[in-house]
């Protein structure tokens, strides 16, 4: 399943400087079938945030993210104080068949880097109690009847019309109060 990601380019550059990990590489944590997701409740955010722990090439990574309209937005851990108008959003599509690899320079920098755990929540019993393997959600097969013109419109936008239906429904679901 192809997943769509976005992030602020400036924050991504800060993450590379601090941790040595490019965001498009860190997105590979979502390919780990054994990863753990938990809601990030360290602060009061203006949106629901998550932390996922997973392995990439045998090394454990922690990634903070939120979901916006069916897109996974990778974020720098910490409080969301404001969204500046100067942010440059970068879009990225993760194809599980062709995940991004580190360059030799990136790999050697990451190997030599001391791990900085200051941005992740404590991995205590409370964290592990709340954690679950929740993303991507399990797909359920369903037969639905929709208007012919709606189906025609969905198919006119190319392959993946069923995924598009799911994204549209997810956006509506996430916009509703819990």
For residue range 92-121, list pLDDT tens digits in order. Answer: 777 778 888 888 887 787 777 666 667 666
Which two three-digit tokens encode residue 32? 């780990």
Q: What is the pLDDT along the chain (178 residues), one digit of tens a residue?
A: 678 898 888 888 888 888 888 888 888 888 888 888 888 877 777 888 888 888 888 888 888 898 887 788 888 533 223 334 445 656 677 777 888 888 888 778 777 766 666 766 677 777 777 776 655 666 788 899 999 999 999 999 888 888 888 878 877 776 777 6
- Contact assessment for residue 32 and residue 56, using Cβ atoms and an 8 Å cutoff: yes
Q: What is the pLDDT of residue 76?
A: 56
CB 22 within 8 A of CB 63: no
Which pairing describes strands 89-94 and 3-8: parallel, antiparallel, or unpaired? antiparallel
Q: At a CB cut-off of 8 Å and minimum separation 6, what does 85 contact?
A: none
CA–CA gap between residue 25 and residue 32 (Å, rounded):
13
- pLDDT value for 9: 87
pTM of the predicted structure, to 2 decimals: 0.58
Distance CA 103, CA 111 (A): 12
Measured CA to CA in angstroms, residue 98 lies from 11, 27, 67, 109 at distances of 25, 12, 23, 22
Per DSSP, the three-state class of 51 is strand
Ranges assigned E (strand) in 9-164: 36-39, 50-56, 59-68, 71-75, 89-94
pLDDT at 135: 57
- The residues spanned by each domain of the chain are 3-130, 139-178
């Amino acid at each position: 399943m192809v997943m769509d990601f976005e992030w602020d380019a400036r924050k991504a550059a800060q993450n590379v400087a601090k941790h040595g990990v490019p965001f498009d590489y860190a997105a590979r944590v979502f390919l780990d079938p054994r990863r753990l997701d938990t809601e990030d409740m360290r602060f009061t955010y203006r949106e629901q945030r998550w932390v996922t722990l997973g392995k990439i090439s045998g090394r454990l990574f922690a990634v903070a993210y939120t979901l916006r309209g069916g897109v996974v937005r990778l974020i720098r851990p910490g409080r969301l104080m404001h969204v500046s108008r100067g942010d440059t959003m970068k879009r990225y599509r993760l194809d599980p068949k062709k995940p991004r690899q580190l360059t030799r320079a990136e790999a050697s920098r990451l190997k030599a880097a001391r791990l900085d755990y200051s941005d992740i929540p404590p991995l205590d019993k409370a964290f592990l109690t709340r954690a679950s393997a929740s993303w991507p959600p399990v797909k359920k097969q369903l037969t639905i009847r929709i208007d012919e013109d709606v189906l025609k419109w969905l198919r006119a936008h190319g392959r993946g019309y069923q995924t598009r239906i799911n994204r549209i429904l997810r956006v509506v679901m996430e916009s509703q109060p819990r």
